[in-house]
Chains A and B, each alone.
Chain A
């Protein structure tokens, strides 16, 4: 099973700042990596798939990069609706499909 590790667990940032979230796989997952945003009380929302492809309707301030074992999600110019929990997910070595434990983005 491929273990996904996200860092940091929590980030405190201000509106307008930019941030990069990290996700590391315990073995190569090629580019089979997705990022999700989850706001409190809501279902996850797909942001990025295939490591760097934005999902339909996702603003350009969200960008993904990486391949193999190291991936990142960058959010430029944070807006209030961006403060949420972010999960990475690998779908190369499956089953099982595995998620990282999440990174919580908080308003400073």
Chain B
């Protein structure tokens, strides 16, 4: 089964930027649509962004639209989330997630990476 390994979290000041990465263990990555989901401390799950298998279609939650950019490099089996203009309310654990074929449920998740926005 494919595994997703995340990196790139950390502490950043308000207004700053951060890029998250999510590397898939198998080259079947190119056949899978992907999303980013986050979870603020003690809170529930919030879907953030979706990207199609080829990268040509992307969607965003209103809370991050215009600030975050999802992308992928299928040759490197890597998913990215570029986060700009970060705010305190962006503090959360961020997960990448693979969608089930022909479904938008997610059957494989990364381990999560913590992003803390604070001065």
Q: Kindly identify which residue among B44, B100, B103, B107 contacts A102, using a CB–CB cutoff of 8 Å.
A: B44
Please, how many angstroms separate the alpha-carbon atoms of A87 and B43 in the complex?
12
Please, how many angstroms separate the alpha-carbon atoms of A48 and B31 in the complex?
21
CB distance from A87 to the nearest CB of B (A): 6
Q: Kindly identify which residue among B47, B103, B109, B111 contacts A50, using a CB–CB cutoff of 8 Å.
A: B103
Q: Are A101 and B44 in contact (CB under 8 A)?
A: yes
Q: Are B46 and A32 in contact (CB under 8 A)?
A: no
List the A residue with the shortest CB-CB distance to B93. A43
Q: Are A32 and B104 in contact (CB under 8 A)?
A: yes
User: In the complex, what residues of A have CB within 8 A of residue B11's CB?
Assistant: none
User: In the complex, what residues of B have CB within 8 A of residue A45's CB?
Assistant: 109
B binding-site residues for A, Cβ under 8 Å:
35, 37, 44-47, 50, 59-62, 95, 97, 100, 103-107, 109-112
